[in-house]
Amino acid sequence: MRESVTIDWNLRESVRASIRLKIRAILRKHGYPPDKTEKATEEVLEQAELLCKAVT
C-alpha cells in the first residue's frame, strides 16, 4: 500500500480508489467481517490523511 501513496494521493480520487481496493483486500485476507469492511476502510483512509497532515 505504501507504494501507492504519491505526493497528492489525498487529492486524486483515482489513487484513493486504488488504495481503498488494497485496504479491502487486506481486510478480506485477514478475515474481517464483510459487513464492516466499508466503515473500516473509511477509518483507515481518515487515519492515513491525519498522519499525512502531521508529517507535513
DSSP 7: T
Per-residue pLDDT of the chain (56 residues; tens, 9 = 90+): 555 555 566 667 887 888 899 999 999 999 999 999 999 999 998 888 888 777 66
Type of residue at 41: T
Separation of alpha carbons 46 and 3, rounded Å: 18
Separation of alpha carbons 27 and 24, rounded Å: 5
pTM: 0.73
Separation of alpha carbons 18 and 1, rounded Å: 9
